[in-house]
């Protein structure tokens, strides 16, 4: 049983997660707002269905800090989609990037994504995604963050609960158990846009060099990311000595 202190409130993760089995996503968001107050932030990738969480959360907390890790390698349509959603929802967007520019990184390490091995991909993700994310959490004094992960997306995400601990920070996942139909219905109900690359066959979108449309031979939607070598970029994995091994999809 995991029981930790947040301010004067004891949070029993087992108990909370059992209660949330029958809760809806909005109720989970409201619990996070009530529990963590100014320590709460959310993350977005401006991916295919990012409008769902951005809309749901900002209806409750309009000025919540929204952390976006810009790798410098996102498709042009992602940047345009981010502008569109930011303007429509009036997001309090906090953009974080690597301290290494893309050109400098390539000069020092080469085109890491093209080296076709997990170690190079892990280094790329550490430089361009994980380090900026950890810096954002520190600088914004985040004690809990809301994310739009769903259990159907990766093997690792199947193991998650509605409320988790990642290091010393709580991670709250309101739509963890949502089906693709629930996501679609929410977008339709509120007339929200999905990422324009969805119409080109993309079911998940990351950097331009490591995302591609779904094909008939793909067994899982995450096969379209990272050249099929792994499933997670590292942002949503525990930061530990064993992280490099855990990033390898064969070990999940």
The answer for residues whose C-beta is within 8 angstroms of residue 243's C-beta and 6 or more apart is 234, 237
Among 41, 137, 144, 233, the one annotated catalytic: 233
Strand-pair category, 40-44 with 65-69: parallel
> Is 247:237 a contact under the CB 8 Å cutoff?
yes
Residue position matching structure tokens 């079911």:
203
DSSP 174-229: TTTT--HHHHHHHHHHTT----GGGGGT-SS---GGGB----TT-SSGGGGBGGGS
Neighbours of 30 (CB within 10 A): 16
- What is the spatial distance between Cα 248 and Cα 117, in angstroms, rounded to a whole number? 10
Annotation says 216 is catalytic: no
- What is the spatial distance between Cα 230 and Cα 223, in angstroms, rounded to a whole number? 8
- For residue 72, the 8-state DSSP code is S
Residues paired with residue 24 on neighbouring β-strands, in sequence order: none
- Phi and psi (nearest 5°) for 191? 50, 50
Question: What residues are annotated to the active site?
Answer: 233
């Amino acid at each position: 049983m995991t029981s930790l202190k947040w301010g004067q409130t004891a949070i029993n993760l087992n108990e909370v997660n059992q209660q949330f089995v029958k809760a809806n996503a909005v109720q989970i968001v409201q619990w996070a707002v009530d529990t963590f107050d100014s320590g709460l932030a959310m993350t977005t990738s401006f991916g295919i269905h990012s409008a769902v969480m951005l809309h749901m959360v900002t209806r409750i907390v309009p000025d919540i800090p929204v952390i976006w890790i810009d790798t410098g390698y996102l498709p042009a349509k992602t940047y345009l989609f981010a502008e569109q959603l930011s303007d429509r929802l009036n997001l309090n967007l906090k953009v974080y990037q690597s301290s290494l520019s893309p050109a400098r990184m390539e000069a020092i390490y080469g085109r890491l994504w093209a080296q076709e091995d997990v170690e190079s991909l892990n280094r790329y993700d550490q430089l361009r995604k994980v380090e900026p994310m950890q810096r954002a959490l520190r600088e914004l004094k985040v004690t809990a963050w809301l994310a739009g992960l769903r259990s159907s997306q990766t093997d690792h995400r199947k193991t998650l609960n509605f409320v988790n601990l990642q290091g010393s920070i709580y991670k709250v996942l309101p739509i963890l158990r949502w089906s693709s139909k629930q996501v679609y219905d929410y977008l339709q109900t509120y007339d929200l846009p999905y990422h324009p690359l969805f119409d080109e066959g993309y079911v998940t979108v990351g950097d331009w060099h490591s995302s591609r449309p779904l094909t008939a031979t793909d067994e899982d939607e995450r096969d379209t990311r990272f050249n099929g070598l792994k499933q997670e970029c590292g942002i949503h994995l525990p930061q530990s000595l064993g992280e490099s091994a855990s990033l390898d999809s064969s070990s999940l």
